[in-house]
Chain A
Amino acid sequence: DQQVKQNSPSLSVQEGRISILNCDYTNSMFDYFLWYKKYPAEGPTFLISISSIKDKNEDGRFTVFLNKSAKHLSLHIVPSQPGDSAVYFCAASSFTSGTYKYIFGTGTRLKVLA
């Protein structure tokens, strides 16, 4: 049973436009959500996160939105740049229950077209 789902395996966006990557989760105990970026032949690198007490977190061109009632989060990249082309994973954890493991989605491959 996939607790964290990314239903879009791939996404193509023109340079300068907005990229929106989506993630859904099923476990209501999750209270911390993260996005990671992964380039080929490299390990995933942390991008941005959000706690369940917030509904938005912004860091430069990256914004994560959390809709707890819908169990849905999204990552917005504005403006998109060719260097953003990578696989993006969302992840979730439930720290307040004493569980520090991270459950990942299947990833979305973003291609930003110049």
Chain B
Amino acid sequence: DAEITQSPRHKITETGRQVTLACHQTWNHNNMFWYRQDLGHGLRLIHYSYGVQDTNKGEVSDGYSVSRSNTEDLPLTLESAASSQTSVYFCASSGQGLNTEAFFGQGTRLTVV
């Protein structure tokens, strides 16, 4: 069965370190998204991609970057981790057609100490 997987599921890192969260989907979806979930803020869009070599900033992109070198993967990099980036991160993907839903991974809980 097609799926979307995130790794690691949990990570603790120190302030200032670079961190990369992995996202891999086997749906062959063109569209991929990164969200963060915080209490009182819901799911906020960080970055998204509509295909290979395409990346776009979402509403909370400062301090994050993504790259899309193939269809299956969209890694999220925190250039210099900050305590404000402690959160649960979700990757999602969706197909190209109109009126389609996004499928989410299980999430990565990141703690920056």
Are B106 and A95 within 8 A (Cβ)? no
Task: Report the separation of the CA atoms of residues A30 and B79 in the bound assembly, to the nearest whole angstrom.
Answer: 33
Report the stretch among B11-19, B41-49, B62-70 that lies at the interface.
Answer: B41-49
* Interface contact A102-B104, CB-CB below 8 Å: no
Chain A residues in 8 Å Cβ range of B101: 34, 46, 49
The smallest C-beta distance from A78 to any residue of chain B, in angstroms, reads 22
Residues of B within 8 A of A101 (CB): 31, 33, 45, 48, 56, 58
Using Cβ atoms and an 8 Å threshold, which residues of chain B touch A49? 99, 101
B27-46 CB contacts (< 8 Å) to partner A: 31, 33, 35, 40-45
**Does A59 sit at the interface, judged by CB under 8 A?**
no
Task: Establish whether residues B106 and A89, one from each chain, have CB atoms under 8 Å apart when the complex forms.
Answer: no
- Kindly state the interface size class of chain A when it binds its partner: 20 to 34
Which secondary structure dominates where chain A touches chain B? strand
CB of A100 within 8 A of CB of B40, answer no
- One of B40, B44, B50, B104 near A43 (C-beta < 8 A): B104
**Count of chain B residues with a beta carbon within 8 Å of a chain A beta carbon:** 26
Complex alpha-carbon distance, A17 and B49, angstroms: 41
Does B104 lie within 8 Å of A45, measured CB to CB?
Answer: yes
Give the contacting residue for B106; candidates A6, A42, A103; CB below 8 A: A42
Query: Separation in Å of the B59 CB from the closest CB of chain A?
Result: 8
**A10 smallest CB distance to B (angstroms):** 12
State whether B43 touches A104 (Cβ < 8 A). yes
Contact indicator B42/A100 (Cβ below 8 Å):
no
Task: Sort A-B residue pairs by CB-CB distance and give the 8 closest, nearest first.
Answer: A43-B104, A106-B42, A104-B43, A46-B101, A95-B98, A107-B42, A44-B104, A43-B106
